[in-house]
A and B are shown apart, each in its own frame.
Chain A
Amino acid sequence: MNSTVITFPGSNCDRDMDVALKKFGFKNKMVWHDDVEIPKSDLVVLPGGFSYGDYLRCGSMASKSKIMQSVINFAKGGGKVMGICNGFQILVESGLLPGVLLRNKYLEFICKNVFVKINNKENSFFKNFKKDVLELHIAHNEGNYFCSEDQLKEINENNQIALHYTDEDGNIDKKNNPNGSSQNIAGIFNKEMNILGMMPHPERMIDQVLSGEDGSIFFESLINNLK
């Protein structure tokens, strides 16, 4: 399986993602934001970080970068694209995913472990996933998912919600919503289910000694599904 990680100036989880993809069997290539071409890939990943400093709305500058046109074309042709954290923000800013990511409800950066429940397994990211509730790590200042009532209705009807923030047992409630996201949304798909954006960082949970192995399950399942 071939994968590509895009590095924007200010990306800072690009190496972590490269390490994780390789650990689970991907042949990964890094591509610079100023490049035009994406090498032959089964998966393109937009990593976490602060692309272009994110001094404007997070991800907005990156969504206009040279390489993003190629990512958009790749995605429109059915290619699998995944955006983690800042990558998710870039995906919504470039219009590949609906909605926006606002500042966290309490206006503070949050770095901690959370539980998320997979809402839809009928797609190539989560098919046959052996767990329903995962413990993953979040680290963001702008992860508060928001969209219009109509959009919210639409993404629910199309089953586009990928992950909800929940408690350990998978219950969705306010108490376990770390950032104020609508309906506890932690990740969503596009309508065609080939694009996934999510705030949690599975690449930080790929080793028991780090803080759990649910990230390992995520990548194992991902490579199996893409085969």
Chain B
Amino acid sequence: MIINEQIAIDHGLKKDEYKKICDLLKRIPNITELGIFSAMWNEHCSYKSSRFHLKKLPTKGKQVIQGPGENAGVIDIGDDDAIVFKIESHNHPSFIEPYQGAATGVGGIMRDVFTMGARPIANLNSIHFGSPQHKKTKNLLRGVVHGIGGYGNCMGVPTIAGQTSFDESYNGNILVNAMTLGLVKKNKIFYSKAAGLGKPVIYVGSKTGRDGIHGASMASAVFDEKIEEKKPTVQVGDPFTEKLLLEACLELMSGDSIIAIQDMGAAGLTSSSIEMASKGNLGIEINLNEVPCRESQMSPYEIMLSESQERMLIVLENGKEDLAKKIFDKWNLDFAVIGKTTNSKKIELYFNNEKVADLPVDILVENSPMYERNWKKAKLPKKVKIKKEQLKNLKVINVLNKILSNPNICSKEWIWQQYDHTVMGDTIQKPGGDAGVVRVHGTNKAVAASVDSSAVYCWAHPLSGGKQIVCESWRNLIAVGAKPIAITNCLNFGSPENEDNMGEFVECVQGLGEASLYLDFPVVSGNVSFYNQTKDIGIKPTPTIGGVGLIKDYENMVTMDLKKKDNILLVIGKTEGHLDQSLFLREILNEKNGPPPEINLFNEKNNGETILELIGQNFIKSAHDISLGGIITALSKMCIKGKKGATLKKPKYLINEFEYLFGEDQGRYIVEIEDKDQKDVVKILENNSVHYDELGTVNDNQLIINDKSKVSIDDLIKSHTIWLNNYMNK
């Protein structure tokens, strides 16, 4: 087959990109080579639209061992322990085939983590679906949840936290973001940089099949009506093989045989071999006849582009082949020496004794396209004026019940009960709290993790939304008593070729960077998912943040359930009553305009650090951050969890009770303290210039807002749990 421009375009390359390839090579590529270019130069692998802006994110910090650029980020948690973590999207495949799409998303991210030598200790996920009324939503939700559970449960890694949202902007493009944390000793971290000449290149894991060919290119394009035809680009997961691969790799890693290791994720053997060669400034030579194949007569093109799961590429020390093979034999996994490192700085592929590809690594990597796309700046929307008559007939308790049963607030127990969240015996805070917490096995330390996103805020004003989401992640970690250390981000957007979408991306990243820099909460890993778009309609901008923090002594962990009658409840942070873009305004008054709440980074940091100080002195009995749905929603959740009630005081300012109860001002928490500690607590708050208000006290079983507005906790529980169970079981 002679390659021409049309074939290149069919591979997802642009005209000028194809021209660039021919110019750089000084010849026309063959089909295998073209396939390799299309895999390396698509948006998913090359970050060609995002690279320019991602450079602006803060990635360094005292506790950062490895920032972006490796399989995952690594942070120091003391005593020679390190946490390896990353979040990644598997949006496009999950919409086409929800079970396998979600399952392999979970498998892929776990592989990223154990490639670095870390044993996965916790999984999290952030999943977003279209409107509940949309005909596809229910099946997609069921399939995704089964897929996440099917893979993670079999691997024996607990799924400790997550986030689920529904919004019509995801009707044609759902989001499935999976995050994994792993634990490793600081001196046993493995990287993907190849080194040394003539070192054997080893293939281990599953055999290569014809599944997932062009998966990464599919994920770099907009959906249209022919989407069903893309099913064969979705990979098929085998968690059992991955479990074996995990154990075998960790066994091999306990010795000193490995020079470099890289999992075969997006673009399979192509990107893994090229990345290792590129980082090591070396060449790699591969004999494709040696690659273990599942099907007969696979062509070089298919072998190089397959995205079959559960495979790894390793550069080994000379003479260690037998030792390594023994380990993989024990675990019944394929093991093949498929090539060696060379000084050619080229990827050279052989098949049936013929050279089938000969590509300089720098052309593929450093010369890959980078675009500074046009983008439009978003204006801050005008504030919405609420008319008095809109509020006149509203009853607080009715509104509260409606909000608690809203799909985006209600209990997600139906989902997380299908995830094994206690395997490994170290989960000390289960899903449903502010953050999931696992102990560092055999120590007093614990690691907290949370995933968050606020698409509505980002859509209304990307810059504020970007900041907000980092702050929310920070707050969720603080609320369980963890010191926030670093984040990973999964940036889900529409097409970068559209100026509005690109603007959303640029400004969300800007906001995200500002907040993480100010809070000393650097970005250590992440991924970008563009083209979450069907024809012309893109999703709401949805950057997802995975935050990780450390609890030095897990005895000091805080939970959100109310603990004891007569304890005092304080709101930390100032309540201004910001209703624009709140759940109240959007869902109750059906008003979708207006700016999101403002972020004050100084207060955010000061309030959070002060809470940690209070927790350190054992004053905080329970805590919860105030987010979607305002004070009363946050308090209701604390009541529900603790099966206790609360009696509210009349607020000292803010006349309008809807603003007070449902406003979504940022930087706030509710904390429960004992009466005897109040003086000491107030002293610390005042010393640190932290604004606080007395919210009320804990009672037995009723939420009492005032004489007219009361509700039993049993009723709140009903409102909170009814929606999802009914929806899924209908």
B331 near A9 with CB under 8 A, answer yes
Residues of the A chain whose Cβ atoms lie less than 8 Å from the Cβ of B555: 209
- The answer on a CB contact under 8 Å between A13 and B423 is yes
CA distance A39 to B244 in the complex (A): 25
| Cβ-based interface call for A203 (8 A) | yes
Q: How many angstroms between the C-alpha atoms of A141 and B422 in the bound complex?
A: 15
* Inter-chain contacts of B637 with A (CB < 8 A): none
Q: Is the CB of A16 within 8 A of B154?
A: no
Q: A210 to B425, Cβ gap below 8 A?
A: yes
Quick check: B240 and A10 within 8 Å, CB to CB? yes
Contact (A12, B155) CB under 8 Å given A109-B418, A109-B420: yes
Separation of A76 and B428 alpha carbons in the complex (Å): 40
CB under 8 Å from chain A, chain B span 189-221: none
Binary contact readout B426-442 vs A (1 if CB under 8 angstroms, 0 otherwise) = 11101000000001000
Answer whether residue B332 sits at the interface, using C-beta atoms and an 8 A cutoff.
yes
B292 contacts partner chain A, Cβ-Cβ < 8 Å: no
Q: Is the CB of B417 within 8 A of A9?
A: no
* Residues A203 and B154 in contact, CB atoms below 8 Å apart: no
Q: Chain A: how many interface residues by the 8 Å CB criterion?
A: 32
Q: Are A139 and B153 closer than 8 Å at their CB atoms?
A: yes
Per-residue contact bits, chain B 328-345, to A (CB 8 Å; 1 contact, 0 not): 001110000000000000
Contact pick for B153, options A109, A210, A211, CB 8 Å: A109
> CB of A15 within 8 A of chain B?
yes
Tell me the residues in window 3-32 of chain A with beta carbons closer than 8 Å to chain B beta carbons: 9-10, 12-13, 15-16, 19-20
A198 at the interface (CB under 8 A from B): no
Smallest beta-carbon distance A67→chain B, Å:
14
A20 to B421, CA, bound (A): 18
- Asked if B421 and A111 make an inter-chain contact with CB atoms under 8 angstroms apart, the answer reads yes
Give Cα A224–Cα B244 distance, bound, in whole angstroms.
36
Q: Closest CB-CB distance, A80 to chain B, in whole Å? A: 23
A12 touching B240, Cβ below 8 Å: no
What's the least CB distance linking B458 to chain A, in Å? Answer: 32
- Measured CB to CB, the nearest residue on chain A to B729 is A106
The yes or no answer to B624 lying at the interface (CB within 8 A) is no
A139 touches B420 (CB 8 A): yes
Closest B residue to A53 using CB positions? B240
* Contact yes or no, B149 A109, CB < 8 A: yes
- B243 in the interface, Cβ–Cβ < 8 Å? yes
Scan residues 310-338 of chain B and give those whose CB is less than 8 A from a CB of chain A. 330-332
Kindly state whether residue A74 has any CB partner on chain B within 8 Å: no
What band does the interface of chain B fall in when counting residues whose beta carbon is under 8 Å from A? 20 to 34
Is the CB of B112 closer than 8 A to any CB of chain A? no
Q: Are the CB atoms of B239 and A50 closer together than 8 Å?
A: yes
Report yes or no: A9 in contact with B244, Cβ–Cβ below 8 A. Answer: yes
Residue B170 interfacial (CB < 8 Å): no
B459 on interface, CB distance cutoff 8 Å: no
Task: Determine whether B424 belongs to the interface, using a CB cutoff of 8 Å to chain A.
Answer: yes
Q: A137 CA to B144 CA in the complex, in Å?
A: 24
Complex interface: chain A residues within 8 A of B427 (CB) = 210
Given A9-B331, A109-B149, A112-B417, the answer on whether A211 and B154 have CB atoms closer than 8 Å is: no
Cβ of B172 to closest chain A Cβ, rounded Å:
27
User: Please, which residue of chain A has its CB at the minimum distance from the CB of B244?
Assistant: A9
Question: In the complex the two chains form, is B428's CB within 8 Å of A210's CB?
Answer: yes
* Residues 207-227 of A at the B interface (beta carbon under 8 Å): 207, 209-211
Q: Shortest beta-carbon distance, A14 to chain B, in Å?
A: 9
- Report B-chain residues with C-beta under 8 Å of the C-beta of A112: 417
CB distance from B146 to the nearest CB of A (A): 8
Residues of A40-69 whose CB lies within 8 A of B? 48-50, 52-55
The yes or no answer to B554 lying at the interface (CB within 8 A) is: yes
Q: Is A204 an interface residue (CB 8 A)?
A: yes
Q: Is A71 an interface position by the 8 A CB rule?
A: no
Which chain B positions have C-beta within 8 A of A55?
Answer: 240
Alpha-carbon separation in the docked complex, A50 to B152 (Å):
11
A72 sits at the interface (CB 8 A): no
Complex interface: chain A residues within 8 A of B424 (CB) = 15-16
B554's partner among A15, A52, A139, A209 (CB-CB below 8 A) is: A209
Interface positions of A from 72 to 113, Cβ below 8 Å from B? 108-112
Of B417, B425, B430, chain A has the most CB atoms within 10 Å of the CB of: B425
Q: Which residues of chain A from 132 to 168 have a CB within 8 Å of any chain B CB?
A: 137, 139, 141
Q: Who on chain A is nearest to B426 by CB?
A: A210
Whether a CB of chain B sits under 8 angstroms from the CB of A206 is: yes
Chain A residues with CB under 8 A of B156 = 12-13, 49
Contact present for B423 and A10 (CB under 8 Å):
no
A203 and B239 within 8 A (CB): no
Shortest CB-to-CB span from B552 to chain A, Å, is 15
Residues of B within 8 A of A203 (CB): 425
Shortest CB distance A105–B (Å): 12
CA distance in complex: A34, B331 (Å) = 10
Question: Are B423 and A204 in contact, CB atoms less than 8 angstroms apart?
Answer: yes
Which residues from chain A contact B416 at a C-beta distance below 8 Å? Answer: 111
A111-B417, A111-B420, A139-B153 known; A204-B240 Cβ under 8 A: no
Contact A110 B239 (CB under 8 A): no
The CA-CA distance from A12 to B330 in the complex, in Å, is 17
Bound form: Cα–Cα A16–B438 in Å: 14
A203 to B146 CA separation, bound complex (whole angstroms):
25
Beyond A109-B153, A112-B417, is A50–B243 a contact (Cβ under 8 Å)? yes
Assess whether A139 is in contact with B423, with CB atoms less than 8 Å apart: yes
| Distance A27 CA – B411 CA, assembled complex (angstroms) | 43
User: In the complex, are the beta carbons of B420 and A53 less than 8 A apart?
Assistant: no
**Cα of A19 to Cα of B430 in the assembled complex, Å:** 21
Which residues of A have CB within 8 Å of B417? 108-112
Q: Inside 8 A of A15's CB, which chain B residues have their CB?
A: 424
CB distance from B167 to the nearest CB of A (A): 25
Write out the residue numbers on chain B whose beta carbons fall within 8 Å of the beta carbon of A210.
422, 425-428
Tell me the residues in window 184-216 of chain A with beta carbons closer than 8 Å to chain B beta carbons: 201, 203-204, 206-207, 209-211
Chain B positions within 8 Å of A53 at CB level: 154, 238-241
Are the C-beta atoms of A110 and B428 separated by less than 8 Å?
A: no
- Set of chain A residues within 8 Å of B425, measured between Cβ atoms: 16, 19-20, 203-204, 206-207, 210
Shortest A55–chain B CB gap in Å is 7
Q: Of all chain A residues, which has the CB nearest B557?
A: A209
Q: Name the residue of chain A whose CB is nearest to the CB of B413.
A: A112
Which residue of chain A is the closest to B142 with respect to CB atoms?
A108
- Taking a contact as CB atoms under 8 Å apart, the answer to whether A111 and B422 are in contact is yes
In this complex, the member of B239, B241, B330, B426 whose beta carbon has the largest number of chain A beta carbons within 10 angstroms is B426
Residues of A within 8 A of B423 (CB): 12-13, 16, 48, 139, 204
| A137 near B422: Cβ-Cβ < 8 Å | yes
Most buried by A among B153, B155, B238, B555: B153
CA distance A10 to B476 in the complex (A): 34
Chain A residues near B428: list those with CB within 8 A: 209-210
A110 near B422 (CB under 8 angstroms)? no
Closest to A137 in B: B422
Cα of A210 to Cα of B425 in the assembled complex, Å: 7
Besides the known contacts A16-B423, A54-B240, A204-B425, 8 further A-B residue pairs in the complex with CB atoms under 8 A apart: A12-B155, A19-B425, A34-B330, A53-B239, A111-B420, A139-B153, A209-B439, A209-B555
Q: Which residues of B contact A (CB under 8 A)?
A: 146, 149-150, 153-156, 238-241, 243-244, 330-332, 416-428, 430, 439, 554-555
15 contacts across the A-B interface (CB closer than 8 A):
A9-B240, A12-B154, A13-B156, A13-B423, A16-B423, A16-B425, A50-B153, A53-B240, A109-B149, A111-B419, A111-B420, A111-B421, A210-B426, A210-B427, A210-B428
Which 4 interchain pairs have the tightest Cβ spacing? Answer: A12-B156, A53-B240, A16-B425, A50-B154
The residues of A with any CB-CB pair to B shorter than 8 Å are 9-10, 12-13, 15-16, 19-20, 34, 48-50, 52-55, 108-112, 137, 139, 141, 201, 203-204, 206-207, 209-211
